[in-house]
Amino acid sequence: MKMQDTQRARDNNQDMLDTESGRQATESNGGADAEKKAAEDQLPWKEAVLPVLPLRGSVMFPMMMMPLAASRPASVAAIEAALASEDKTLIVATQLDPSVEEPEQQDLFEYATVSVIKKAERNNEGVSLIAQGVLRVRIEKLVRKDGYLQAHFAPAPVACEKTEEVEALRRNVVELATKIAEHLQGNAPAAVGQILTQVTDPLELAYLLASLMGLSVERDRELLAANSCEEVLRLLIDYLSYELKVRELQMEIASTAQSEMSREQREYMLRRQLEAIRRELGEDGSEQADLVELRRKFEEVELPENVAQEVEKELKRLERMSPNAADYQLTRTYIDLLLELPWNTVTPDNLDLEHARAVLDEDHFDLETVKDRIIEHLAVMKLNPEAKAPILCFVGPPGVGKTSLGKSIAKALGRKFERLALGGLHDEAELRGHRRTYIGAMPGRIIQAIRRCGTRNPVLMLDEIDKLGRDYRGDPAAALMEILDPEQNREFHDNYLDLPFDLSKVFFITTANSLDTIPAPLLDRMEVLTLSGYSSEEKEKIARRYLIPRQVAEAGLKPDQIDITDEALRYVIRGYTREAGVRNLERMIGRIVRKTAKRIVEGEPTPIRISPDDLPDILGPERFTPEKARQQLRPGVAAGLAWTPTGGDVLYVEAVDLGKGGKLTLTGHLGRVMKESARAALSYLISMAPQLGLEREHLENASVHIHVPAGAVPKDGPSAGVTMATALASLFAHAPARADTAMTGEITLSGLVLPVGGIKEKVLAAHRAGLKRVILPKGNEKDISELPEEVRQEMEFIFAERIEEVLAAAIPEMAQRKPPITLV
């Protein structure tokens, strides 16, 4: 009740701050001035010497009330003395070292507080008091008299001016204290809040907070030693911020520990719930079952030791992992791959040569060199089962059956067959895979193909190896080198698999349309087998034997329901297709068969006979005018032979004399080599003009234009040299070349005819065009054996070593006019 009254009086004082007298009242309440005055003028105690109560472990601040308990005889005596005074005052001083039993002057802190005993009570141990600090003093002299300490002292009130700085500091203290209070337990925060709003005197507030916060004695002493309110507040701010930091840290540690706990607990709870849901849905422990299944598989398959170790390791990892972990599926997929790869599985080879030959012949017409090579390999395998599988490269125009030949080989050997299209592949990782650390990582195509096969000795066909791309992501051709090298592929390293895999038993076959774009080191690793284009006769046989039966069966017809005559078939081959292979031919046959099927369904009587006259109705007008030989050649025109990726072709070289000027014009989309060979042909003719019966002067001055149709098709190569020379000679001699003769060959300035490539295709092209005589370089005589027998029979071959022989064979008039002169 008393306290509340006091409080109200002080609150009212606050209200009155603006009036003069109100201010005075406040000042007299706690201001330093008033205290000073009280200390100097009207000391409430009359004694100049006061008894001293040494305090262990705490500090009495002015204005603070504090419970004290005294048990030491000297302390009790001091209290007795104070109680025996009129105004119950004594000095409360802090002991520097709490362990000293009978402190002397040097054991007490120099600053102490004069205090008034508010309540006193005796008990068994001594006296307990409630005392209130009144004034800070400095102890000047301490004497022990009558059994207790007595002090001579000087008042040392704390200066407290109400400056703005003090106010700022006070607010700072309040803020810090509020924050600290938030960390306190129970009703303490509210109580502190109340004090902070009620106590307005900064010094009182400081002392009060210091007592409340339970600072160390050292700090309390420092506060008491401070001489101004400002200093007290500054010290307190230091202490409070430290305290706040410590408490915040404490909170943080506590809350981290708690959140850690609650997270685990939450996960546990969710897992339990999930389990319950699963049970409800009847999916009891699917992950567990999954793992058991994997384990079972692992125990069933036979793996090499290093692989088994890896699988064991990954399986253990998986079993420890939560099924929801990001890695779970990755690891699972990886284990699946390891278990599925045919580490030891091989299919037994069928080494029966007769059987192999029969299978190959059944599926493919001719292609003798390739078939022989396969049979040879089978023979070697029979004798030496450890022989390295060959790496073959089939080169040839599209549609000649490279891919299907691969399938036949697999069939003949009794091996699995897998095909990989490499066309346009430009990322090394496609072949070798990505490391497992990447998202979406997969094994390379090679390993995937092996996995699909399920054996480690399949026939693996790498299609279109000449169309490999290459960019900043790496060069797949380089990766292929490792794969295709029998010395290295025993330990093929796939990035995803990360374990060596033996590819040495794989029968690799690559295919390409041309060898030009295959890097030399890669080409070097392969055995190149050329599949050249088919002649019309071969195509006819292929059509009869394979294409027509296949298309008839596909259309659902019976073989005896349709009869395609030989003439009709030949007309399809010549008039509707122009290709080295048979793809278009098969398509055309398919169209014929389907149209026939329609007629049969419409009720026409079978068998339906297809003759050449029916074809325009079925296939439309003739697509290609067969390369018929020109019946008559003008002077200046000669028939050459060219090789194209789709087979050979007949080219007519045309030359005209443009009169004087000595200029050579070349047109027809010719490459550099071809242009140079035209110049060489002209130079040779000029140099040899007299011997050839030509006027040298005329040749030197003449302007000549040479054109090679068709103008839109790029052409290059040296093999048109003889044709150019023949055309020019015919032009200048005004004598036409023989219309039934075609030629090919490179020329030199000294008049030699050098051998060229693609003889088979070229001769077949001439044969197709109906040209019966072909002039070839002597050096190509050996290539004639590659030609089909009937072509060889039908054609006349002239083998030339020198230009003069070519000219004599091609231009009859020149042969008559001047006998060829052979120069050394």
Show which residues are catalytic: 719, 762
Least distance from another protein to the Cβ atom of residue 71, Å? 16
- Would you say 213 or 769 has its CB closer to another protein? 213
- Would you say 28 or 350 has its CB closer to another protein? 28
Question: Which residues sit at the interface with another protein, rule CB under 8 A?
Answer: 1-3, 5-10, 12-13, 16, 19, 21-22, 24-25, 28-30, 34-35, 38, 44-45, 62-65, 67, 80, 83-89, 115-122, 132-135, 188, 191-192, 194-195, 198-199, 201, 204, 208, 211-212, 214
- Would you say 60 or 685 has its CB closer to another protein? 60
CA distances from 276 to 270, 286, 287 (A): 10, 13, 14
Decide: helix, strand or coil at residue 191.
helix
Amino acid at 203: L
**Main-chain phi, psi angles of 93, to 5 degrees:** -120, 150
- Would you say 120 or 608 has its CB closer to another protein? 120
Decide: helix, strand or coil at residue 163.
coil
Task: Write out 374-427 in H/E/C secondary structure.
Answer: HHHHHHHHHHCCCCCCCEEEEECCCCCCHHHHHHHHHHHHCCCEEEEECCCCCC
796: left (phi over 0), alpha (psi -120 to 50) or beta: beta
Distance CA 33, CA 406 (A): 114
Least distance from another protein to the Cβ atom of residue 185, Å? 9
- Would you say 3 or 281 has its CB closer to another protein? 3
Decide: helix, strand or coil at residue 249.
helix
Least distance from another protein to the Cβ atom of residue 73, Å? 15
Least distance from another protein to the Cβ atom of residue 156, Å? 15
Q: Are 512 and 393 in contact (CB under 8 A)?
A: yes
Amino acid at 89: T
Decide: helix, strand or coil at residue 344.
coil
Distance CA 550, CA 544 (A): 10
- Would you say 69 or 387 has its CB closer to another protein? 69
Beta pairing, strands 741-743 & 773-777 = parallel
Distance CA 460, CA 484 (A): 11
Structure tokens at 713: 């098709």
Least distance from another protein to the Cβ atom of residue 141, Å? 24
Find all residues with CB under 8 Å of 1, minimum gap 6, and list them. none
Name which of 684, 668, 809 is nearest 752 in CA terms.
Answer: 684
Distance CA 342, CA 425 (A): 26
Beta pairing, strands 89-94 & 65-70 = unpaired
- Would you say 67 or 819 has its CB closer to another protein? 67
Least distance from another protein to the Cβ atom of residue 197, Å? 11
Least distance from another protein to the Cβ atom of residue 180, Å? 13
Distance CA 613, CA 631 (A): 25
- Would you say 176 or 318 has its CB closer to another protein? 176
- Would you say 119 or 263 has its CB closer to another protein? 119
Distance CA 571, CA 767 (A): 15
- Would you say 132 or 345 has its CB closer to another protein? 132
Q: Is 697 exposed, middle or buried (0-12, 13-18, 19+ CB in 10 A)?
A: exposed
Least distance from another protein to the Cβ atom of residue 259, Å? 29
Least distance from another protein to the Cβ atom of residue 245, Å? 21
**Main-chain phi, psi angles of 112, to 5 degrees:** -140, 180
Least distance from another protein to the Cβ atom of residue 224, Å? 15
Find all residues with CB under 8 Å of 158, minimum gap 6, and list them. 32, 62, 136, 203, 226, 227, 228, 229, 232
